[in-house]
Amino acid sequence: MQELLIGNHALARGAWEAGLRVAAAYPGTPSTEIIEALARYPEVYAEWAPNEKVALEVAIGAAIGGARSLAAMKHVGVNVAADPLMTLAYTGVNAGLVLVSADDPGLFSSQNEQDNRFYARMAQIPCLEPADSQEVKDMTKLAFDLGEKFDTPVMLRLTTRIAHSYSPVESGERREIPLRDYVKQPAKYVMLPVFGKARHRVVEERRQKLLAYAETTSLNRVEWADRRVGVITAGIAYQYVKEALPGVSVLKLGLTYPLPEKLVRGFVNAVETCYVVEELEPFIEDQLRALGLAVTGKELVPRVDELSSIIVARTVGAQVANLDPGLVDPDLAAAALAGTAPTAGPMTGTERPATPALSETEAAGDLAAREAAPALAQRAIDARTKDAGSEPVKEAAATAVPADLPGRPPLMCPGCPHRGVFYVLKKLRLVVAGDIGCYTLGATPPLQAMDTCICMGASLGVAMGLEKARGAEFARRVVGVIGDSTFLHSGMTGLLDMVYNGGTGTLIILDNSTTAMTGHQDHPGTGYTAAHQPAPKADLEQIARGLGVRRVQVVDSYDLEAVERAIQEETAAREPSVIIARQPCALLKKEKEAVYTVDPEACLACRYCLDLGCPALSFNGEQAVIDLVQCNGCGLCARVCPAEAIRKAGEEDA
Amino acid sequence: MPEDVINVLLVGVGGQGTILAGRVLSRAALSLGGEVKVSDIHGMAQRGGSVVTQVRFGPRVFAPVMAPGTADFMVAFEKLEARRWLPYLRADGWLIVNDQELPPLPVLTGAATYPEDLVGEMGRLVKHTLALDALDLARRAGNVKAVNMVLMGALARRLPISRAAWEAALASSVPGRFLEVNKKAFQLGWEEGA
């Protein structure tokens, strides 16, 4: 059945047909109608998040959890969501994830006109640009498949004119896509530096594969006409070109990042003159120039404001008409010549300033420098060879580090209050949506109690997405963990989202009363400013309650029984809950506690204490040994020892 | 003032005081009147990870980091870290190594073993090796945490920096109540390095 839909409704329809399960957004013109439409489909969970960052984090949690998901926002919203986006590009997805960026050329209701295709390029993810509602729907469906095929989020870039214009759409049936399995993969979803480094290589390999795909996909198509003039265009600009320049050959790009090098080169070479017509920034044009292709674009087409058919006629059309008036739409050509149509701005047609030319002397100098370059390089090589003969060349002591040399990964300090919480989380085999800070080290052996870490503040949004993808029963097994400083940085909005949108998850705030990872800086919860002046102290319990959490517990991080009991109670609760596990950072302690020692008679050599991953604890072969210099006296090892062989120094005989 | 740039690499484990040692060395090197450039390279842990400080000084220093194979001195606070960073040392450079083992987590948990005879192996790979029990010397100086100044004392023997400059650098880098212990540790390292 064909019906007239605005692009946003076509997008919602396409996402629904593609088996979408989870969608989140913060309203922003011109993207708002997407969630409004999705919220009407019973098969889709759609929510308003407190901001775009949380919306994307919820979508990320859902995608990792195996459900096709979508986050929609206006262009400036992506600025707010850029933090998770850049790392999402590294982790990739499980089920498909579409990020809708609805840009607003012409600032109909925005504070700027930014061109978000640069975000796709920055994140190295595919960017799709539909040109009407039908394409919006088709590309939305394709975006999910593409994302799953290449394990990448996909940006679907609309502009106001696409998002809010009606055009016919053929609707189809919903395809139920089964939930993908959730598999814990810390190397893929916990972006510690060591894992992130490896994933960056994956991103680069993926870009190469996407390039190959871009060459052959029907998203990019050539419409041959007069071969004297070619136009490369995308999105709404395609419609303006087709209207104003009916006689020219057109390369319509549906996939504008990455750009298919062979296809564009072939097209540019097949026409006598090639123009690039795109709205806002020279995004495609700059990439063509970087390929060494001679094209004309922003010298003619304005970079400011919304594009239109008349602007295309006035700019490119005026040039093309000199060659053959028949290439330009006669009505538009007449209007353009008459100057009766409104202009888009000062940078049109012949009003543009001339390109400043190099002066004769500058040009001569430039040429001389280029000619001299090889000679300079050769002289440098000669000099080095000569030196090597006269002086001993510095030679490295050993060219390689032995492959079997044990690594020295960063780890939680002796006495770290986070250690016990992660020990319990591992014991309870919970799914842990983590965050950025010392506690990210809960992902490393032997604790390995973390499933995801996307960006600062993402833990609860991801936990929420996992719940919405896999259901409230799965949520019984999910906790978010976040530090006190990070909670105040950007964790509060995630908690607010969970309360507002009926999540039932548990957030553990690992409160060590400082910003530990970076060297113990103060924050609004410490009661001091950067200059160490007294300041109002933000109260985490009150904040959690103020955000609407009714279940708030405070536990002693070192009291493993209390930590375990609290986690079991709160994960079982069918409403949002917060556990504040509190103990100051071990490095802040002024006085050292009495150390612990091992009673050799009692030690069973069970090695349970090693599961804590405490650097002060090791095995000498037959029994546990505690390094008295490193031991901080936290006593966690004594609590996990089943034989009660570990005791506080001075209490050995107790 | 040395004619060429002198490269000193300080390697150790987070918490051992390599960064403070680097600060003392760089302040002392400033007394030579040339340029000093320092880079602290450490990972995400406050403690326990591999930590490297690079100090370069001479008449003119450009890059703040040195290339592999160009360190004139490597002062290693721990043996395993010495071996890990050994490719940075020149074959005819000086390795000053604290003969102390701090097993990393994979060794503590039994997932890996600490290599044997690291000092002997490295002694065969480089021209000059000075191994010392800096932990014991620091204990004798009055505080086990003064390992870093023991090692600076051993290094100081081999650098064209005056004792007065070292002492001024120490005094300006270490809190007053710890100064005597650190000076003593430096002296013990100096003597051991003879």
Q: Are B27 and B172 in contact (CB under 8 A)?
A: yes
Contact residues, chain B, for A618 at CB < 8 Å: 103, 107-108
Residue A425's pLDDT is 97
Give the Å distances, CA to CA, from B72 to B56, B62, B87, B88.
10, 17, 12, 9
More confident residue, B45 or A511: A511
A282-332 pLDDT, tens digit each: 999 999 999 999 999 999 999 999 999 999 999 999 999 999 999 999 888
Q: What is the mean pLDDT of residues A490-510?
A: 98
Q: Is A296 exposed, middle or buried (0-12, 13-18, 19+ CB in 10 A)?
A: middle
Residue A373's pLDDT is 42
Q: What is the mean pLDDT of residues A415-427?
A: 96
Residue A569's pLDDT is 98
Q: A304-319 in b/e burial notation, b at 16+ Cβ within 10 A? A: ebbbbbbbbbbbbbbb
Question: Model's pTM, two decimal places?
Answer: 0.88
- Residue from A197, A394, A399, A408 to probe the interface with B (highest B Cβ count within 10 Å): A408
DSSP-derived letter for residue A169 is: E
DSSP-derived pairing of the beta strands A127-128 and A255-257: antiparallel
Confidence band of A399 (pLDDT split at 50, 70, 90):
low
d(CA A624, CA A598): 7
Q: Count A/B contacts: CB-CB distance under 8 Å.
A: 129
The mean of the pLDDT values for chain B is: 93
B51-81 pLDDT, tens digit each: 899 999 999 999 999 988 899 999 999 999 9
Residue A649's pLDDT is 86
Provide the 3-class DSSP secondary structure of residue A580: strand
DSSP-derived letter for residue A146 is: H
Q: Do B43 and A399 touch (CB under 8 A)?
A: no
Q: Specify whether the backbone of B56 is left (phi greater than 0), alpha (psi in -120 to 50) or beta.
A: beta
d(CA A251, CA A268): 9
Residue type, A297: G
Q: Assess B50–A contact: CB distance below 8 Å, yes or no.
A: yes
d(CA B153, CA B150): 5
Residue type, A302: P
Contact residues, chain B, for A446 at CB < 8 Å: 105, 109
- Say which residue the tokens 């450009």 belong to: B62
Residue A398's pLDDT is 67
Q: Is A143 exposed, middle or buried (0-12, 13-18, 19+ CB in 10 A)?
A: buried
Chain centroid to CA A24: 15
Of A642, A644, A643, A605, nearest to A625 by C-alpha is A605
Residue A395 has pLDDT above 80, yes or no: no
A69-78 pLDDT, tens digit each: 999 999 999 9
d(CA A229, CA A272): 6
The mean of the pLDDT values for chain A is: 90
Q: Do A398 and B125 touch (CB under 8 A)?
A: yes
Radius of gyration of chain B from its Cα atoms, rounded to whole angstroms:
16
Q: How far from each other are the two terminal CA atoms of chain B, in whole angstroms?
A: 22
Confidence band of A403 (pLDDT split at 50, 70, 90):
confident
Residue A372's pLDDT is 44
B122-141 pLDDT, tens digit each: 999 999 999 999 999 999 99
Residue A591's pLDDT is 79
Q: Assess B107–A contact: CB distance below 8 Å, yes or no.
A: yes
Q: What is the mean pLDDT of residues B146-169?
A: 97
Q: To the nearest whole angstrom, how far is the Cα of A610 from the nearest Cα of chain B?
A: 6
B74, closest residue in chain A (CA to CA): A397
More confident residue, A576 or B109: A576
Q: What is the mean pLDDT of residues A578-586?
A: 96
A91-129 pLDDT, tens digit each: 999 999 999 999 999 999 999 999 999 999 999 999 999
Residue A380 has pLDDT above 70, yes or no: no
Residue A652's pLDDT is 55
d(CA B160, CA A498): 64
Rounded to a whole number, what is the largest CA-CA distance in chain B?
50
Residue A382 has pLDDT above 80, yes or no: no
Q: Are A472 and A501 in contact (CB under 8 A)?
A: no
A164-198 pLDDT, tens digit each: 999 999 999 999 999 999 999 999 999 999 899 99
Confidence band of B194 (pLDDT split at 50, 70, 90):
confident
Residue A394's pLDDT is 60
- Residue from B108, B114, B144, B145 to probe the interface with A (highest A Cβ count within 10 Å): B108
Residue A263's pLDDT is 98
